[in-house]
Structure 1
């Protein structure tokens, strides 16, 4: 299999077991070796008391993009640490796009940067995650 085919097969295997991402309305737009792009529309049940998207939903989208990117090499990986910076609010009806990219790797650890943008292309948040590979694979 090519690296692209491996990434796609890993994403399909993870998606089949994922209840959180599809439950929040996320859609995988693209995956590749060390990359993933997901979208999610901000629904009425995702808006907080300020009338803007609850930051936890933006975080969840970024975290899912990170997860699909760091698991694209058929080595199971989990989050070791991550952080998000909110740049501007997302609003009801916004379609958010999170694009994750591996920026560094050493041994069992990887660093992934995620940009979350709204439908106008404006930056909503930046997220940096550190992955740690664990035992096992996603596909045989």
Structure 2
């Protein structure tokens, strides 16, 4: 397993394999710490390349971190599952050097559809953003799993 995968993933070989093929998370140093049914926990340190002209973490990177946690939470059941919609509310800034933690939690699942909430926090607990994603299961097992 890669260096950015937490020890809690030892029993999730399919998720670990999916993460190791995730070039976006690998390139940006987004770590996958935990996955369980309908839940995921990821973290990212804000780098200088991730800030906007005001010196704050660009909203696109905050959305990306939340979206990644959402992705692993909704793929935790084994079927290929993708986003069908998502929205984010930015609540506080993050700066270079801040470690951000995204916790995704399933709120509802019915048939092929799911609703997930993701809270992005500074590592000390202050909420930076709230994200809600809606998923749809396409079926099948991911390639290479």
TM-score, normalised via structure 1 length: 0.92
Q: What is the alpha-carbon distance in structure 1 between the residues aligned to residue 86 and residue 46 of structure 2?
A: 22
Aligned to 1:115: 119
Please state how far the C-alpha of 1:96 moved relative to its aligned partner: 0.3
Return the alpha-carbon distance in structure 1 between the equivalents of residues 120 and 45 of structure 2.
12
TM-score, normalised relative to structure 2: 0.89
Task: Give the counterpart of 2:41 among 29, 37, 41.
Answer: 37
Matched with 2:139 is 135
Paired residue for 1:56, among 45, 57, 60? 60
Q: 1:5 to 1:20 in 2, by over 3 A?
A: closer
Partner secondary structure for residue 30 of structure 1? strand
**Deviating more after overlay: 99-108 vs 14-23:** 14-23
Name structure 2 gaps, 5 residues minimum: 1-7
RMSD value, Cα: 1.8
Q: Structure 1 residues 131, 6: closer, same or farther in 2, change over 3 A?
A: farther
CA-to-aligned-CA distance 1:54-92 (integer Å, 9 cap, x gap): 000000000000000000000110000000000001111
Point out 4+ residue stretches in structure 1 off by more than 4 angstroms: 4-7
SS of 1:132 mapped into structure 2: strand
Count of aligned positions: 137
Change (3 A) 1:50 1:62: same
* Alignment gaps of 5+ in structure 1: none
Shift of 1:11: 1.5
CA distance in 2, matches of 1:42, 1:15: 20
Q: 1:26 aligns with which of 19, 27, 30?
A: 30
Tell me which residue corresponds to 1:79: 83
Specify the alignment match of 2:4 in structure 1: none
SS where residue 36 of structure 1 aligns?
Answer: strand
Distance in 2, matches of 1:108 and 1:5, equals: 25
